[in-house]
Structure 1
């Protein structure tokens, strides 16, 4: 579906709605040109990510609001429409694409328009052309260098910290030297033990092409071999066809369009760990990592991460490894982290006023529980 606001109806901007991968692909050239003008580019801004979210993970749920200034695409804002309750008590809200396999959030915004009311124009557009009378808009899991962070600061949105994202710089050996020496030595010891008892330790990297499907299937098999499989929590990608199709789109179908790779660790002929990663704007983003429970005593996931770090530190154009989440094991490596935020924008309904009071009290309570420095930040 593609719907456009009447010319001149929303300030000086024209807004078009896209809800299908075909619609997104139709503006590929304009999209790629906009990505080059985003202040801090990441994989979230690249077209293959949004096409996979729209086509495989959340089909028919996300609407991409494309904002034009004349013929120039200046912003793409993905939003879901959600509701809960009955009658007058029925809440209606907008939110960024939300799923257990979406770890970070952001919008595409031309850095030249950071001080313009582009986001407000999209909300006005929704009010004017739809019957969806939203009470609030939730913008969740964005980091300090995102376009959303700049927007939240400019608009003075109600904002709180909702998590963290671990990372490590890797421009040179000195950066790698900041990683826990104890952890590094322990992993090196386990790697030598695996080499002695099982076979040579090697890490393979997939390349775009037919073989990439095999590497992705290896990841699915490895991840589902342990506690995430059917006999455990059932949270592996293999247990969720929609999620596996989503990651296949990212890692296999779009492998020619961007730098998506599958890294596989082997002990001799045995494939024991695997990782899905995407490189964007000199940063490696680690999306998924899994290991074969049979070899758990050797720490295959840690050995894979160590081998990956050694590889990317040697790359001249790599500045950072980003874990996209803050897993507990990252603390053992002494990886630093940055906060992830949630911001709220409230509508004009009576329910919106109640929501503003409720969330204001909730945020302040969380701040008190967190103590000095808390989680509340009115950007």
Structure 2
């Protein structure tokens, strides 16, 4: 541990000064995604105004770890940056330095920077993750829980197409034919210009997300609008911003907002106009995106980022998204861990009770809308 040094960049107005270290770690990390890129983090600062510190760890002047950290002084909780627009998160670590020295150093630095902290949380870590790798090296209590799922489609070869539900693909094709009898359909992919983004934002605002009783669309929130416009201008090169549109008689009726990183197309947003909801326009565009990926064989996968219920019909592959918690060894930290431990003990008992007693007649709300 004597060979490891640290640097705190506290409440940065910009992280451009960390760009070279960030880029180096992206190149050597075995686990990476768009949500670990410095440009994504820069946009979180500039447009979502998320206050956080950055902990940089070096081995003989070579960066080996970067962690953007938020601290809630009232809850005494350290977290990776989180927001409604952040579906996945992780830190950056050189896998060659995942050892007990790093775990002890992080614990020590948390104590110095955030006296009295009781737990650290990574709320949406897609497996495998760098933060999960630190678990085995952490000197104090720890906890991991699979709270979400990440759905994705392999697209390395055309044979991967056989993994899709044939029944669902046939149904989507049927709806596409029905829609094509009413409109002339056109598919556009790989759009990067500002006007294409604005078209997508208007499609999403005209979906259920923009309805008066929802108002969760990007255009309904000025910060979110600025954030996605900043993403478009920030990302180029190896990490690409891309818009896909489905046009009906020249008018966009469905769209996708994607970031492409290391052979993976992450669909951050899928939207369709309410007037074509019965046709499943989002599904029609998704099928064309997948067919294009199979034909071109340039992508390893198309990733939905989250695990929406409507996507189960496609028979996607899935990986867990975890909530990972590292606890301090102080009294507050151990008390917090005890609560997590008790919840784990009670959970199977609760599940047994739920299966024994009849379910309520009140239907549960759906998790997300049909694409």
Task: Give the TM-score of the pair, scaled to structure 1.
Answer: 0.86
User: Which of these residues, 45, 50, 71, is aligned with residue 41 of structure 2?
Assistant: 50
1:118-150 per-position Cα deviation (integer Å, ceiling 9, x unaligned): 24423322322x354211111222122211222
Q: Does 1:316 align with 2:297?
A: yes
Q: In the alignment, which residue of structure 2 is the partner of 1:127?
A: 111
Contact kept in structure 2, 1:203 and 1:307, CA below 8 Å:
no
Q: Does 1:28 align with 2:31?
A: no
In the TM superposition, what is the alpha-carbon distance from 1:339 to its structure 2 partner? 1.2
What is the alpha-carbon root mean square deviation over aligned residues?
A: 2.1
User: Which of these residues, 162, 168, 172, is aligned with residue 153 of structure 2?
Assistant: 168
C-alpha separation in 1, matches of 2:182 and 2:35: 42
Q: Does 1:136 align with 2:107?
A: no
C-alpha separation in 2, matches of 1:106 and 1:121: 18
In the TM superposition, what is the alpha-carbon distance from 1:256 to its structure 2 partner? 5.3
User: Which of these residues, 312, 327, 337, is aligned with residue 308 of structure 2?
Assistant: 327
C-alpha separation in 2, matches of 1:175 and 1:364: 40
User: Which of these residues, 76, 92, 100, is aligned with residue 108 of structure 1?
Assistant: 92
Contact kept in structure 2, 1:265 and 1:274, CA below 8 Å:
yes
Structure 2 unpaired stretches of 5+:
353-371
Contact kept in structure 1, 2:36 and 2:89, CA below 8 Å:
no
User: Which of these residues, 233, 240, 249, is aligned with residue 268 of structure 1?
Assistant: 249
1:46-88 per-position Cα deviation (integer Å, ceiling 9, x unaligned): 22111112222243x121211111211111111110144xxxx
Instruction: Provide runs of 4+ in structure 1 moved above 3 Å.
Output: 19-23, 153-156, 367-371
1:223-259 per-position Cα deviation (integer Å, ceiling 9, x unaligned): 1113211523011011111122222222234345721
Describe the shift of the 1:195–1:131 C-alpha distance in structure 2 as closer, same or farther (beyond 3 A).
Answer: closer
C-alpha separation in 2, matches of 1:135 and 1:50: 25
Structure 1 unpaired stretches of 5+:
1-9, 85-90, 372-379
Q: Does 1:65 align with 2:46?
A: no
Contact kept in structure 1, 2:238 and 2:262, CA below 8 Å:
no
Secondary structure in structure 1 of the residue aligned to 2:207: coil
Contact kept in structure 2, 1:114 and 1:150, CA below 8 Å:
yes
In the TM superposition, what is the alpha-carbon distance from 1:168 to its structure 2 partner? 1.3
In the TM superposition, what is the alpha-carbon distance from 1:317 to its structure 2 partner? 3.1
Describe the shift of the 1:19–1:302 C-alpha distance in structure 2 as closer, same or farther (beyond 3 A).
Answer: farther
Secondary structure in structure 1 of the residue aligned to 2:181: helix
Q: Does 1:39 align with 2:30?
A: yes
Contact kept in structure 2, 1:202 and 1:267, CA below 8 Å:
no
In the TM superposition, what is the alpha-carbon distance from 1:297 to its structure 2 partner? 2.1
1:181-222 per-position Cα deviation (integer Å, ceiling 9, x unaligned): 111111112212222211133234313xxxx21111111111
C-alpha separation in 1, matches of 2:2 and 2:349: 41
